[in-house]
Amino acid sequence: MRSMHIPANRLRITRRGLLRAGTLTAGAVALGRFSIPPLRAAEVEDQLNMMGWADYISPDNIQAWEGMTGSKLVYDSYASNDEMYSKLQLSKGSSGYDLGMNTDFMIPLLIKGQLIQKFDKSQIPNAGNVRPEIAHPDFDPENAYTLPKSWGSEGFVYDKSVITREMNTWGDFLDAVQNEASGRVSLLDDPLAIAPLFWSKGVSWNTTEESAIKEAEAQLEKLAKHIRAFNSYPVQDVATGTVVLAQCWNGNARQAIDQSGNQNLIFVYGAPITEAWLDSYHLPVGGQHMRAAHSWVNYVLDPKVAAAEITYTGFLSPVSGSEQHLEQKVATDPLIFPPADVMKRGERTLRNETYERRIQMLNKLKAAAAL
């Protein structure tokens, strides 16, 4: 997915609510709610160090897992896929993380660099709950190194009291950036910020066609003067009205709309092309708490737990049967469950020969915007 533009501050997510002495009682409660075998404290290390996107895990699930295991989850957020990659690459096996997550296009790089290790599937019986259409992705056909976390799409949210015309396409988005929303626009703090320049023309943003790349490059300076922020997590800016047009991922749009209470906010899955992404859990080489890491992944692949993740994050779960445990308004929310045509026209990012060029284009856009 996505990259969250939030400082990588260490969040001590302990929210246990129960003393370690109450672990067995909490485990029994969790067993009744989630149908997951309770784990004795001796079976799981007393800490799990995880790195992932900000605000991407249900606090209730964290509390229940900590209560079951007697362990505590220590979580770091990071700003981009590349930041995670750099941390693992530079640490050479001593990053301190037991569990991480990255978006689809990064996984081959992590495997090739021997930065992540294989899961022990005997410790993850719930791996069998992964949806067939999500299991065995092309970047890890046997799910040896990864197990899916969430998946979704991308679009833009806008305030219809400011932008009063109908908005459907990335062409509409780019036009509004330079007109009604000028100075109150947020783009992703990610190379995907430039993707609408390609998608609006019906061109893949993974293109290797020099003419298409040059055409997009020619628009960067013109676009830059209208941008207020580069923020991959613009929930607060949208909710407060600081931003009236924001490129964002579907779950974040839902969070912004829910938090704002603003009836004028509308989310659109941009056309004719948009993004389809898959985030996956992985095990960084050198992790010290492997039983805890496997325990967590097995836990979140339970349908009831996955349903709580969907409700909290607003992103699709890869777990079969999770919809059966959702409230009706969540199960039918198009901001959580993109229409079939959206996922069909969605494309995954490729780290091909033009990827570094696209990073350079983002840097050029940000420099021109002086942000």
Per-residue model confidence (pLDDT) at position 25:
32
Per-residue model confidence (pLDDT) at position 313:
92
Regarding the domain delimited by 152-275+338-369, which CATH topology (the fold level of the hierarchy) does it fall under? D-Maltodextrin-Binding Protein; domain 2 (3.40.190)
Closest C-alpha to 286, from 148, 134, 117, 146: 117
Whether 152-275+338-369 and 10-150+277-331 are alike in CATH topology: the answer is yes
Upstream peptide bond of 272 is cis (omega within 30 degrees of 0)? yes
pTM to 2 decimal places: 0.83
Task: Provide block-wise average pLDDT over 10 residues at a time, the chain (371 residues).
Answer: 37 28 33 43 83 92 96 90 90 93 95 97 97 94 97 96 97 98 96 97 97 97 96 91 96 90 95 96 97 98 97 94 95 92 93 95 96 74
Domain boundaries, the chain: 10-150+277-331, 152-275+338-369
Closest C-alpha to 278, from 125, 107, 109, 100: 107
CA torsion through residues 14, 16, 20, 26, sign: negative
CATH of domain 10-150+277-331: 3.40.190.10
Per-residue model confidence (pLDDT) at position 54:
83
